Structures are given as structure tokens and as C-alpha cells.
Structure 1
Amino acid sequence: MGHDWEKQYEWRVTWPGEGHEDWSGYDGDIYIGRIMRDLTTHTHKNEFMWSGGAHGRDGFKTRIIMPHRGWEKEHWQAAKAVEDWYDRMREANGLLPRK
């Protein structure tokens, strides 16, 4: 997805065929989060919003780790933020990160 960083998880277009810059991340069948170009927020317009989404499932007993959402300038930075958040969630729940 970009620069020196290499994705560790699978990223799929959230709405295939719609033409949106919107992707959902997965660790196998576990939904880990989403990134999308923000076209509406005045202070972050055209940046990429990210949000982590794996809490409350598949052995995750720890409540959601904050921050679990934010904005980045590039799509790969937003994807990295989701993956980093997911790895922190895994570690907080006694699971090893996949990296």
C-alpha cells in the first residue's frame, strides 16, 4: 500500500464497484478495521480516516484500546495505524502480534 511499510494483513475494497477510496482490513476472517478518504469533515477533508474494529470478538477480553481512530495524510499511513492498533489489541489480550 505504500512506502517502506509493508502491510501485514489483508485489505479489501469495502464497497466493490462503488469507486470509493474505502478499504476494510482482515486477519483471516477477523475484521480489524477500516480506512476511507474523508470527504466531509472540514478539518480533515481529503485525509484518510482510520478506525480499529476487532474489539469484543475472537478472544479479545480487553476493552478497546484508545485511540482507536484518527486521520492520516496517506492511505498507507491509515492502514498502518489500523494494523498497529490491532497488534496492540492482540498483545493486550495475550496474543502475539503477527509481525
Structure 2
Amino acid sequence: MPDEYAPKYRWRVTWPDPEDAGSHKTDFSGWDGDVRIGRIRFEPNGLQKGTWQWSGLGPHVRERLLPHQSYEDTARKAAAMVEDYYERLMAHNGLEIRQPSTGE
């Protein structure tokens, strides 16, 4: 899909759950080199059922930004929110992105 967001950072399975055969498709952490920039995970139950929760992270900084988490309709949109949060967080704190990636 040409309109689908292409992640800029490396995304990996957060941890496989042996009791959930599909967990490798529902929980991912984003990385800028060795810095964890955030996490996305599929919400299978509850009020946000069927959406992707995103949570933005980054290195130890003086000041965090809000909002740092929410829900999106797709994993790609959630990844885009994490990546945007991370880049804004770093700029806000006068820090450089450590290792830009092509999303490999």
C-alpha cells in the first residue's frame, strides 16, 4: 500500500509468549540503536478492543512530553506515533537521534 507508513526505526518483537502462538504479531518495541523508543501492542479485549496501543519512550531526559501514549487503528499508525513522539522528545531536550534507521 503506497499510503501506508514506512517505519524509520528498527521494530522487534517485545517478547514471544509461548502460550500465545500469535504474540510475535501483536507486541513490538521500537529501537534507535540501543535506545528503546517505544512499544506498540494489539489490544485484544476491553474498551479499546481491536486497536493498537502505543507508548513513547526514550533515553533519560530532563523533560518528558505529553501525550506519551494512546491508541490507533493500525500497527503502522501506532509506530508512526511512537517515532514522532521520540523525535519530538529528543528535539525538545536538545538531544540528537542516535542512529537513524530505514526500519530494517
TM class by shorter chain equals 0.7 to 0.9
Partner residue of 1:38 out of 35, 40, 43: 43
* 1:49 lines up with 2:50 in the alignment: no
Judge conservation of contact 2:41–2:53 (CA < 8 Å) in 1. Answer: yes
Distance in 1, Cα, partners of 2:16 & 2:3? 25
Q: Please, what TM-score do these two structures have when normalized by structure 2?
A: 0.78
CA distance in 2, matches of 1:54, 1:68: 11
Counterpart in the other structure of 1:89? 89
Alignment pair present for 1:27 and 2:28: no
Unaligned runs of 5+ in 1: none
- Higher relative contact order, chain-length normalized (CA < 8 Å, sep 6+): 2
Cα distance per residue 1:46-72 (max 9 Å; x no partner): 1000001215x2xx222x200000000
CA distance in 2, matches of 1:5, 1:24: 17
CA RMSD of aligned residues (A): 2.0
Distance change (3 Å), C-alpha of 1:3 and 1:23: farther
Structure 1 stretch 6-15 or stretch 88-97: which is displaced more? 88-97
Q: Percent same amino acid at aligned positions?
A: 38
Q: Does 1:70 align with 2:75?
A: no
Unaligned runs of 5+ in 2: none
Aligned residues: 93
